Amino acid sequence: MDLQGCLNRTTFQSLKLTSTPSSSSSPFLFPSLYKTKTPTIHSPKFPFPRLTKPLPTSSASVVQTSPATTNISSEQGGKPQWKATIDFKWIKDNKETVAANIKNRNSDADLELILNLYDKLFILQKEVERVRGERNVVANKMKGKLEPSERQILIEQGKNLKEGLIALEEDLVKLNDELQREAQCIPNLTHPDVPIGGEDSSTIRKMVGSVPKFSFPVKDHLQLGKELDLFDFDAAAEVSGSKFYYLKNEAVLLEMALLNWTLSEVMKRGFIPLTTPEIVRSSIVEKCGFQPRAKNTQVYSINDSDQCLIGTAEIPVGGLHMDSILAGSILPLKYVAFSHCFRTEAGAAGTATRGLYRVHQFSKIEMFIFCRPEESDYYHDELIKIEEDMFSSLGLHFKTLDMASEDLGAPAYRKFDVEAWMPGLERFGEISSASNCTDYQSRRLGIRYRPSEALVPGPKKSKGNLAPPQFVHTLNATACAVPRMIICLLENYQQEDGSVLIPEPLRPFMGGLNVITRKS
C-alpha cells in the first residue's frame, strides 16, 4: 500500500510518539529524460542471486563514497539537513514541462520562486568568484618587494576583500539552502501514459475474476472475527488506543502463513530476503520522498530525536546502499523485505476504516528493486505481475489501476494499485501498490552505478576512459499487507455455517489446517 507520509518508531525509554508539524519540505528528483526500452532480462534463479552481497566489501561491487548528501549547518528552522543532486539547469531549460507536471500532480511547489532563487544564486556565485580572484591578485602582489606604503595599501585591500568575501559566502550558503529547500518540493516527472486528474481519473489496467455469489447473508470480517474468536479490538484499545488489535487463534496462523507463503513465492523470482530496522533517521524518510514532520503526516516521529517509525520497508531498504556507487554488473538488485509498519492514519474515519482496514501497526512484505534507468519500466511490469499472480492464486477478485497524476505521491513516476473485492464491505479495497520512482530517490540517497562499458574501447580500463557513474532507478511494490489480506480471505472464503475455508496455497503454511471453525 502506498505511503503518502512516513512513519517511525521508538526505543524503550520514556518517549512520546507524535506527528510533529514542521515546514520541512519533501525531497526531490530530477532527470535524465525517461527514454526507456524493454530489454531481454533473465531473473536470477532461486533461492539467491549469486551476483552480489547486500553490502559487499569488495570494491568491485560497491564503492562507499563521501556522501553526496552533505549536512547543512544553520540556525534557520525547517531546513533540510542534506542536499539532493538536483539538476537546476534542466529545470530552467524545461520550465514549461516542469510547470505542467507540478499542476497535473496538484503540487504546491513554487517553480517561479525556485527559478528566481536559482538566478540569484548564479549571480551571487559569479560575484564570489570575482572577489576571490581580486583577493588572489592582491595576495600575489604582496609576494614581491614593496614599499611599506604600498604594502599597507595592499593589506587594507586584502582585509576589505576578505571581509566582503566572508559576507558573500554566508549569503551564498543561505541562498543555496533556501533553493534546496524549495526545490525539494518539486515532484517527480510523470509517465506520459498516466491519466491526468484525481483518483477518480485512474484507469483500469486489468480486471481479474468476478464478484463472488453467496446463497446466504454475507458477514464482514469484524463479525466473522468475533464469532470465530480471531480478533480483540477492545482489549487493544485499552492497552494501546484505537486502531490497534490483537490477532488470536487461527488468525495468528493465517498471518504467519501469509508471510511465509509470500516470502517463498517472491524468493522463487530471485529476490533477496531481508528484515529491516523499524526505526530510521528522519533524513532517510525525507530522502525517500516523504515528509515525516509535515502537517497531517502519516509518520510517527520520536520526540527530541531525529528518528521515526517506518511506515513501509521501502524506507530502510532504500537506504541500504545510500552514498554508494554500485558496479553495473550486479544490477538489478532485488530485495523482498519483512517489517512491521506504523502509520498515524491522520484524518482517517468512517465505515471504510473499521476493523483491520486502517490500523496503526501491521505486518507487511515489500519488494524493492535497484536497476539501470533503461530497465525500470520493465521491472515495474514485473512487480505488478508478481502481485497479480499471487492474488490470482488466492482466488481473489481484483482490479489493477493505473493511478492518476494527483494520486501518485511525490516520488512516483508511475504507480499501479491493486484493489480487491471485499464482500463484507461491499466494495473494492486497496491491497497493494507498485511504484516506479525512477531516480527521484537515488538522487537524494546518493545511489549511483558505474556502467561496465568503457567510453573509449581499449585493452586497459582507467579512470579516464570509464563511463561516469549514473543514478540508479528504484522501484517498490507491496507483496503482502497482512490486515487487508486477512479481510479479503475471511470475507471471500466464508461459508454458510459460519466457518472460513483456507485457500489451497496457504494450507501447507497452516500446518495442514483447511478450515477455521467456531470454537466449541
User: Which residues carry a binding-site annotation?
Assistant: 312, 343-345, 359-362, 366, 430-433, 476
Query: How far does CA 113 lie from the centroid of its chain?
Result: 26
Binding residues for ATP: 343-345, 359-362, 430-433
Told to judge if 462 belongs to the known catalytic residues of this protein, a careful annotator would answer: no
Q: What are phi and psi of 481, to 5 degrees?
A: -105, 105
- CA nearest neighbour of 270 among 43, 1, 91, 72: 43
Catalytic member of 9, 105, 269, 343: 343
Q: What is the DSSP letter of 257?
A: H
Q: Which amino acid is at 109?
A: A
Binding residues for L-serine: 312, 343, 366, 476
Catalytic member of 132, 178, 430, 507: 430
Catalytic member of 269, 281, 448, 484: 484
* SS3 call for 442: helix
For every residue of 52-75, DSSP letters joined together read --SS--STTTEEE-S-SS-----S
Most distant CA atoms of the chain, gap in Å: 108
Collect all residues with Cβ–Cβ distance below 8 Å to 498 and sequence separation of at least 6.
Answer: 219, 224, 227, 228, 517, 518
Strands 333-342 and 398-402, bridge-based pairing? unpaired
Told to judge if 430 belongs to the known catalytic residues of this protein, a careful annotator would answer: yes
Catalytic member of 293, 358, 372, 443: 358
The cell for 287 is 530522502
Q: How far is 343 from 362, CA to CA, in rounded Å? A: 9
Told to judge if 427 belongs to the known catalytic residues of this protein, a careful annotator would answer: no
Q: What are phi and psi of 340, to 5 degrees?
A: -85, 150
Told to judge if 358 belongs to the known catalytic residues of this protein, a careful annotator would answer: yes
Q: How far is 188 from 439, CA to CA, in rounded Å? A: 9
Told to judge if 269 belongs to the known catalytic residues of this protein, a careful annotator would answer: no
Q: What are phi and psi of 88, to 5 degrees?
A: -65, -35
Q: Which residues are catalytic?
A: 343, 358, 430, 433, 484
